[in-house]
Amino acid sequence: MTTSPIPTDGTSGTERARTARAVSLGWVPVEACRLPVADQPMRLAAFESLFADAVTGVERVGAHLLRLALAPDPAFAARTAELAVREADCCGFFTFTLTAAQGTLALEVAVPPERAHVLDGIAAQAEAAKARP
């Protein structure tokens, strides 16, 4: 019998669906994340919200590096920095670099080779959020 990463402790159907979607996106490596499973839906929602509000471009720079262009707004920079710090705390394999220069804002996400698939999931989520009206 396999165990599911989806919470069965009375969390809402929406939370379970978000957790399932995060796992299916492939960028929530359960074995490497110290964030409690019950908190993962809220983290996913925070990323979805940021991506929908701020992402203007998604570029896979290399096998282990993803660059997200963001609308150059101080509020987006603050949200991005806070989320990056929280994510790096629970998933230590991430390296986040937030750059504001010459009227642009970008978040680079780097991972070690064994976590390259994580960038595919982040890129897919960012593209999907960016495409929503």
Using CA of residue 95, residue 124, residue 40, residue 100, what is the dihedral sign? Answer: positive
Which residue type, as a one-letter code, is found at position 74?
Answer: P
Domain boundaries, the chain: 13-131
CA distance 110 to 66: 7
Per residue in 44-103, pLDDT tens? 899 999 999 999 999 999 999 999 999 999 999 999 999 999 999 888 899 999 999 999
Per residue in 9-33, pLDDT tens? 344 444 444 434 444 444 656 666 7
Q: Residue for token digits 């074995």?
A: 31
